[in-house]
Amino acid sequence: MAFRGKNAVVTGGAGGIGLQVARQLLAAGVAKLAIIDIQDNLEEFVKLRSAHPTQSVMIIKMDVANKKGVEATYEEIKKTFGNIDIVVNVAGIFNDKDVQRTLLVNLGGIINSTLSALQYMSKENGGNGGIVLNMSSVVGLDPMFIIPVYGATKAGIINFTRCLGNDKFYQRSGIKFATVCPGATMTDMFTNFTEKIIFPETSDETYKILDRLSKQSATDVARCMLNVLEKEKNGAVYVIEGKRIIPLEIKPLWTGKEPAL
């Protein structure tokens, strides 16, 4: 994919990995960029606009868990941009103690944003097609006992995105889908980590696990995510670890599945 002249949307773009993705997309030459986030980060948004004065940067404060709000947000983006070519869904939280909120934001938010975007990106509806990249996590692939709720949402993202990354759907819509699963990354999401886990008695062991993890920067993850967008491989799932993207071969386990499904 050539980014120059394209229109992109990033959810969770006010900080962390999402902000770095927004920076990378602007540096790569996207014409118009919309950032959807419930958080404010005025200082960084001013920097983005001043660094890219000839490109349009649209900021929309919205909770991705709000289905109707997200639908209205994409309608606004469509009216302003004319078309949408790229969607990168990064928005997410960590708080296993707040189960409903974690489910609504992490999995519900990805679904809300993706399905809302399809209405305007699909060639069946007059769109140009494009690509949707959804961010999951390595804990959506391999269970980690200390974060079962967060891990469940990330596993759901992988399956949801793989379901849509179907060649027959692509032939109709012109939209490709991919999933990235970053390893441990240095962001503010896991601040006060042990206060948000559902098994506080494991806090000592949790700290030991966190200390042992090899951590990467949000900037490195964002660079890898743009690499994935460039590859445009429909239905692909990648691990991001140590500044590298590692494609996964996920083999079917259900032997009775009909090919048409």
- Note the pLDDT tens digit of each residue in 150-172: 999 999 999 999 999 999 999 99
pTM of the model: 0.94
Give the Cβ contact number of residue 38 at 10 Å: 18
**Within-domain flag for 29:** yes
**Within-domain flag for 84:** yes
Both structure tokens of 113? 């944003």
Both structure tokens of 176? 């490709």
**Within-domain flag for 253:** no
pLDDT tens per residue, range 7-61: 999 999 999 999 999 999 999 999 999 999 999 999 999 999 999 999 999 999 9
**Within-domain flag for 58:** yes
What is the extent of the structural domain holding 207? 7-245
CATH code, domain carrying 102:
3.40.50.720
How much is the average pLDDT of 202-230?
86
Catalytically active residues are: 150
Per-residue confidence (pLDDT) for residue 103, from 0 to 100: 98
**Within-domain flag for 28:** yes
DSSP summary character for residue 215: P
Rg of the chain's alpha carbons, rounded to an integer? 18
**Within-domain flag for 26:** yes
Number of alpha carbons in the 13 Å side-chain half-sphere of residue 239: 13
**Within-domain flag for 115:** yes
**Within-domain flag for 64:** yes
Q: Is the dihedral of CA 18, 24, 26, 28 positive or negative?
A: negative
| Number of domains making up the chain | 1
- With bands split at pLDDT 50, 70 and 90, how would you rate the model's confidence at 261? low
Specify which residues 176 forms β-bridges with: 131
Per-residue confidence (pLDDT) for residue 260, from 0 to 100: 62
